[in-house]
Structure 1
Amino acid sequence: MPSSPTGRTDRNLAWTAFNAVQFAFTLAWTAVMIVIALLVHAVLRDRHWPLRMASRWWAPGLLRGAGARLRVSGLEQVDWSRNHVFVANHQSTIDICALFRAIPVPLHFLLKQEMTRVPLVGWYAKAMGMVFIDRSNRRAALGFMRRSTELLRDGGSLCIFPEGTRSRSGAVAGFKGGAFQAAIDAGVEVVPVAIAGSGAVLYPEGFFRVRPGVIRVSFGTPLPTRTVDGPVDRQVLADEARAAVLAMLGRRADPA
C-alpha cells in the first residue's frame, strides 16, 4: 500500500532533524581532531602522526556518524613500502574520508585553492603539506605541478581526483592528463582507485543530505609512468587509469 503524503512528510522531517544532528557532530568532531592534530604537529614538528590521525580517528568517526560501512578490496595489489599517486573517481565529499581510511599510509590530497580559506580545515591542510591548485591562474597551476613533484620525490603519496570535480550523476567523466604530469616527472606509479556508493551516502546536491549505506573502495593494478622507451604520455596514462576505474565499477569503457 502506498505511503500517505503525511507519512512521507514525517519521514522527511525526521531525516532533516537527524541530518542536522549529524552535521553538528561533523563540525565538532572535525574541529576537535584538527586542534589535536595541530598541537601534535607543533610538538613533534612532524607530519606523520597528524596525518595518521586523520586515517585512524577523524575519518572513521565521520564514516560511523554518517552510518557508512566501508568495504575495501585490492590492497594486496599495491606495494605499500613505496609511494604512489592515487587517482580516484569523485562522487561526494565523503570520498576524502573513505580514502583516508582505506589507504594505509600517510596521504596528501590535491585540493582546490578555496580550501585554504576554510577555518581549521585550511589550517590543517596547509600544515600537513597538502597541494593546492588555482585553476583560474595558469602560473599558479605551474606552481602546483612543481610542489606535487617535490612531494613525490620526497617520498610522499598524493591522491588526486582527475575528473576535476564531483560527479552529480555518478558517471565517471574524462580524466585530465595534466593531473598525471607530476607522477610522470617523479617517476612514481599511478594507482587507479574506484569509489562506489559514496554519492548515495552523502548526496552531492543539497545541504548535508546523508543516508546510511555501503561505500566500496577498490584498488587496481599500479600503472607505470615510464617504459623502456621513456615517459608515458600523460593523456594515455589518464585514459588507462579511467578505463581501470570503470572496469572496477563494472562499467563499459565508454568515451569520456
Structure 2
Amino acid sequence: MPSSPPRRSDRNLAWTAFNAVQFAFTLAWTAAWISAALLVHAVLRDRHWPLRMAARCWAPGLLWGAGARLQVSGLEQVDWSRNHVFVANHQSTIDICALFRAIPVPLHFLLKQEMTKVPFVGWYARAMGMVFIDRSNRRAALGFMRQSAELLRGGGSLCIFPEGTRSRTGVVAGFKGGAFQAAIDAGVDVVPVAIEGSGAVLYPEGFFRVRPGTIRVRFGAPLATRDGDRPVERQALADDARAAVLAMLGRRAGQA
C-alpha cells in the first residue's frame, strides 16, 4: 500500500524545527565573528580588517546557513577605487549580509538607532563607525547627515536603504530625498543597487522564517551628485535612483 504524502502540518513542524536550528546557528555565528572582529579592532586600532571580516567570514556563513545562493552582476559598472553611496531596495534583514558579501570594499551602513541596543551587533556597529539615525528626532536626523558626509569625505563608502523600512510585499516604495543629502554634500556618486529574492529567503514577517533560495544583487551605473558646478536636487536624485532600481528589477514605475 503506497504511503500517503506528508501532511502540511508535518511539513510546517519540520520547517519550524529547522528554522530554530538555523536561528541558533545565526546567533552563535554572529557572536563568534563579531567577538573576533572586535578583538582585531582592539589590537590593530583599524577598521579595515574588521569590516572585511564581515564581508568574507560573517556574511558568507549566514548566507550558507540560510541556504541562500548569491548572484552578483554589474560590478564592472563601478569604479571601486573611489568611494560611493550605495542605495538599495530593502526586502529583508538578510539584505545586509548580501550587500556585505557583494560589495568588494569596506562598507558602512545607515542603521536605525534601535540597533545600538542589540548585543554584539550594536557593539560592532558602533566600533566600526556605522551611522545611526533616530527618525523620531529631527535634530538628530541633521546630525546623521553631518556624520554621513564626514564619513564620505574621509573616503568611506556608505550603504543606505532609502525606502526607510523593509517592504512586506516586494513593492519598492518611494525613495526619501533626505537619504541622498550626504552624498550631495560630499560630492560622492550614488550607485543604485537592486536586490531580488531576499524576502523569499528570510521573510520580512514572522519570527525567523527561512527558506532556501537565490538572492540576486545588481549594480547600476553611478549617478552624479553634481550637474556642472551645481549640486543635483536631492529628490530628483532619489527618483532617478529608484527608477534605476526598478529597471534592474524589470519593473516600470507603475508596477513598483
Q: TM-score range by the shorter chain?
A: over 0.9
SS in structure 1 opposite 2:39? helix
Distance 1:255 1:222 in 2: 23
* Structure 2: gaps of 5 or more residues: none
Distance 1:238 1:7 in 2: 47
SS in structure 2 opposite 1:108? strand
Query: Which one is further off, 5-14 or 239-248?
Result: 5-14
Query: 1:90 corresponds to which residue?
Result: 90
Distance 2:252 2:13 in 1: 39
Query: 2:217 corresponds to which residue?
Result: 217
What are the superposed Cα offsets for residues 195-245 of structure 1, whole Å, 9 maximum, x if unpaired?
A: 000000000000000000000000000000001140000000000000000
Letter paired with 1:239? D
Length, aligned pairs only: 254
Question: Deviation at 1:255?
Answer: 8.2
Query: 1:53 corresponds to which residue?
Result: 53
Verify: 1:67 aligned to 2:81, yes or no: no
Distance 1:255 1:197 in 2: 17
Distance 2:53 2:168 in 1: 30
Distance 1:37 1:71 in 2: 26
Q: How do residues 136-215 of structure 1 correspond to structure 2 at under 5 angstroms?
A: 136-215=136-215
Distance 2:237 2:54 in 1: 30
Distance 1:21 1:228 in 2: 55
Letter paired with 1:143? G
Distance 1:254 1:244 in 2: 14
Verify: 1:76 aligned to 2:76, yes or no: yes
SS in structure 2 opposite 1:254? helix
Letter paired with 1:140? A
TM-score normalised by structure 2 residue count: 0.97
Distance 1:35 1:12 in 2: 34
Distance 1:255 1:213 in 2: 23
Letter paired with 1:147? Q
Distance 1:157 1:6 in 2: 49
Distance 1:65 1:39 in 2: 24
SS in structure 2 opposite 1:71? strand
The change in CA–CA distance for 1:255 and 1:196 in structure 2 (over 3 A counts) is closer
Distance 2:92 2:142 in 1: 27
What are the superposed Cα offsets for residues 88-117 of structure 1, whole Å, 9 maximum, x if unpaired?
A: 000000000000000000000000000001
Distance 1:175 1:30 in 2: 30
The change in CA–CA distance for 1:255 and 1:136 in structure 2 (over 3 A counts) is farther
SS in structure 1 opposite 2:205? coil
Distance 2:231 2:206 in 1: 42
Letter paired with 2:139? R
Question: Deviation at 1:254?
Answer: 2.5
Query: 2:114 corresponds to which residue?
Result: 114
Distance 1:152 1:198 in 2: 28
SS in structure 1 opposite 2:23? helix
RMSD after superposition:
1.3
